[in-house]
Amino acid sequence: MREAAPKRPLSTPELVAMVATLSALNALAIDIMLPALPDIGRAFGLTNDNDRQLVVVAYIALFGVSQLVYGPLADAFGRRSVLISALGIYILGSVLCVVAPTFELFLAARALQGLGAGATRVIAVTVVRDLTEGRRMAQVMSMAMTIFMVVPIVAPSIGQLILFVAPWRWIFGGLLLYALAITAWSMWRLPETLRHENRTPFRPGAILAAYATVLSNRQMVGYMIATVFITAALFAYITAAEQIFVDVYDLGAAFPIAFGAIAISISIGTFLNSRIVVRHGMRRISHTMTLWFTAMGFVFTALTLTTGVSFLAFMVLLALTFSVIGLTSSNFNALAMEPMGRVAGSASAVFGAMTSAGGAALGALIARAFDGTVGPFALGLFLAGLATLGAVLWTERGRLTLKA
């Protein structure tokens, strides 16, 4: 039975808005509850402050791994039905987060949220790949990410405001309402963008063949690995941010303001990329910014090991370092997906799973090394930059595109 298509096709602004909103579902699930981590720890009687990080890690781990399943499902059965079904899983996880009586069950509910949210990343990228390609794809993704980056800026503040007037579980009630709204929008407006002739059977042989095609492409694999390390730096920051700003710099309830300021720097880079990528190209921008990220990581680490880093210096250095994430991630994503055409769903799944799970695992290691100072975090950023640069050099056979 054919699904009813929207009477009016998606315009570019609505496509950008929908991709941004789907992506924001994932960001909200992480960022809005960061101010509540101390309250969650107290509610469940956690004795090790670093155990609070599991609330983030449990979500991200399932968010990453689940994409390996959603990709083949989206290539076989279409984008729309898979997305709506997965949003149902996310809604169930949100309900359980509100009522979970123990920390173990709460972590399971967070994992269930991640399981459902995995489809939002796969479907968002795949739909854009279905409708655009090349530099145009990078531009659309950057425009969507520019809107999406408003979420990390305001989400912790929203979470803090909720905590001022209600218990921490109300935050997850807010996530539930958001998921219900985006599910309704997707059911009403999202068309099926997978052409019938491009559908692939959901059979082990076909799935393995699609994944083999993806993993045999040097450009896809190389930029996926590069994105893993960039993502690791970002996840390390998200996971350790509350401890750094509250425990090291004693910001208390002002933590969301500092967190939002860094998110603004990332958003500025993402917006700038959407304006210049068509003219200057994905390689030139991302390669140049990879060098910048690595250099700033070195400066950051050198200062932490010598003079130390005041709060003002930390904010400036982190903003200068993370501003380039918006100028690398969207371009790495587009470069990886560029040759994937007929297996876009599977390619998006592999890319999303590897970058999310790999980035989460490496980011968790960096965050777990927190020792009451910013030293391990700064060193982690530098090492992530070096690894990113190495992956780009391998992909491009030792060449960087730095000039027009």
pLDDT at 7 over 60: no
Q: Which of 21-30, 35-44, 260-269, 321-330 has the highest mean pLDDT?
A: 35-44
The average confidence (pLDDT) of the chain is 87
Q: Is the pLDDT of residue 188 over 50?
A: yes
Q: What's the confidence (pLDDT) of residue 360?
A: 81
pLDDT at 303: 93
Residue 3 has pLDDT above 60, yes or no: no
Residue 11's Cβ-count burial label (10 Å; 0-12, 13-18, 19+) is exposed
pTM equals 0.74
Q: What is the pLDDT of residues 160-182, one digit of tens each?
A: 899 999 999 999 999 999 999 99
The arithmetic mean of pLDDT across residues 315-328, rounded, is 89
Task: Give me the pLDDT at residue 114, please.
Answer: 94
Percent above pLDDT 90 for the chain? 38
Structure confidence at residue 149 as a pLDDT band (50, 70, 90): low
Listed range (286-290, 332-336, 400-404) with the worst mean pLDDT: 400-404
pLDDT of residue 1: 39
Q: What is the structure's pLDDT at 61?
A: 83
Q: Return the pLDDT at 6.
A: 58
Task: Please tell me the predicted confidence (pLDDT) of residue 168.
Answer: 95
| Per-residue confidence (pLDDT) for residue 146, from 0 to 100 | 66
More confident residue, 93 or 344: 93
**Looking up tokens 């003219």, which residue turns up?**
279
State the pLDDT at residue 12.
Answer: 77
- CA dist 24 and 199 (Å) reads 28
Best mean pLDDT range from 27-36, 237-246, 312-321: 312-321
Whole-number Cα distances in Å, 288 to 45, 218, 363, 403: 47, 20, 23, 9
* 199-232 pLDDT tens trace: 878 888 888 888 899 999 999 999 999 999 999 9
Q: Report whether 66 contacts 118 (CB < 8 A).
A: yes
What pLDDT is attached to residue 30? Answer: 85
pLDDT for position 378: 92
The CA-CA-CA angle for residues 328, 334, 340, to 5°, reads 145
Paired tokens of 257? 């303001």
What end-to-end distance do the CA atoms of the chain give, in Å?
51
Predicted confidence (pLDDT) at residue 332 exceeds the cutoff of 80: yes
Q: What is the pLDDT of residues 50-59, one digit of tens each?
A: 788 889 889 9
Instruction: Quote the radius of gyration of the chain (alpha carbons, Å).
Output: 20
Tokens standing for residue 4: 């009813």
pLDDT at 8: 67
Q: How far apart are CA 145 and CA 24, in angstroms?
A: 9
What is the distance between the alpha carbons of residues 20 and 16, in angstroms, rounded to a whole number? 6
Integer angstrom CA distances of residue 283 from 138, 216, 279, 316, 364: 11, 21, 11, 27, 29
Would the pLDDT of 250 be above 60? yes
| pLDDT tens digits, one per residue of 356-395 | 788 888 998 998 888 888 999 999 999 999 999 999 999 9
What is the average per-residue pLDDT within 389-402? 93
Tell which CATH classification among 1.20.1250.20, 2.40.50.140, 2.60.40.150, 1.10.3720.10 matches the domain 12-395. 1.20.1250.20
The mean pLDDT value for 36-46 works out to 91
Predicted local confidence at residue 78, as pLDDT = 87
